[in-house]
Amino acid sequence: MSYEPLHASRLPPRAGIGFKPEHYGDVLETEPDIGFLEVHAENYMGEGGMPHRMLAELSARYALSLHGVGLSIGAARPLDRAHLARLRLLIDRYKPQSFSEHLAWSTHDTGFLNDLLPLPYTPETLARVIDHVDEVQQATGRQMLLENPSTYVLFEESCIDEIDFLDAVAERTGCGLLLDVNNVMVSAVNHGLDPLAYVDRFPVERVGEIHLAGYDETVDGAGERLLIDAHGSRVREDVFALYRHAIRRCGPVATLIEWDNDVPGFAILHDEARRADAVLAEEAKRRGFATLPRRASA
């Protein structure tokens, strides 16, 4: 199924940050030169109040990306129609430049699990995810970006490579992909894989946004490195090196700095965004493009 270009992801090729309410004053008063703001859709599904007043003010100044965490795209049960309806109202209200979700599940029977859980890559789950992505895009009237997961276990029944799975979903539904470089590193280290090889095989022509974040590190029961997708620190240097490699393949693509736990002062987030912007500007120059746009408003 295809979608009109008007409804496709169209974030500027700049670095953005995940907006946190504690940074509202900093952003509003200084209007920093950042490419876009991203928010979790589920935090703005109420009728009104301070969250909406803040988001309305900021979305008038900055390009906006909605990132969902509650659709449970990979679940065996049907999608929650009420959740989809709230999502459509939110999209109609703010007209974001991008909407994304995770290749994961978080619902079972009538319960909701407060986590993004992996799924086996089989023909059955592929068909289910394709149906669910189609349903989301028809319900919202716009293209969705589907994010590669961070994983800690592999399923014996998986018979489709993760990249092939994502590519097949995009091919069948017309959705785009969100390349989370931190997730690539986390999964590759945890499973003894090559993160560079993953990026080299990724269908970069489908990428509408990239995510960067910090991971935590520990060891597993066998004494091997175990990375945790923690979103509570600066982007690690190995992830940033992998990001440079990804941008060489993708070209300049909207890049988000994710920081959801132990949130620092705004200046630190802005500094991380500047680092990503420098990589984007360098690649734009290498390709002979014009300089990257200044702060892009909605």
End-to-end Cα separation, the chain, in angstroms: 27
Looking at the 3D structure of the chain, how many domains does it have? 1
DSSP secondary structure string, 237-268?
Answer: HHHHHHHHHHHHHH-S--EEE---SS---HHH
Return the DSSP state at 157.
Answer: T
CATH code, 130: 3.20.20.150
For every one of its 298 residues, what pLDDT tens digit does the chain have, with 9 covering 90 and above?
A: 444 443 567 899 999 999 999 999 999 999 999 999 999 999 999 888 999 999 999 999 999 999 998 899 998 889 999 999 999 999 999 999 999 999 997 755 554 445 678 899 999 999 999 999 999 999 999 999 999 999 998 899 999 999 999 999 999 999 999 999 999 999 999 999 999 999 999 999 999 999 999 999 999 888 889 999 999 999 999 999 999 999 999 999 999 999 999 999 999 999 999 999 999 999 999 999 877 777 655 5
| Residue 187 is assigned to a structural domain of this protein | yes
CA dihedral 243, 246, 247, 250 (to 10 degrees): -150
| Residue 195 is assigned to a structural domain of this protein | yes
Strand-pair category, 216-219 with 36-40: unpaired
Task: Please state the pTM of the whole predicted model.
Answer: 0.93
232: containing domain: 11-286
Strand-pair category, 145-147 with 176-180: parallel
| Residue 251 is assigned to a structural domain of this protein | yes
| Residue 74 is assigned to a structural domain of this protein | yes
| Residue 295 is assigned to a structural domain of this protein | no
CB 101 within 8 A of CB 71: yes
| Residue 6 is assigned to a structural domain of this protein | no
| Residue 292 is assigned to a structural domain of this protein | no
| Residue 2 is assigned to a structural domain of this protein | no
- 3-state class of 286 per DSSP? helix
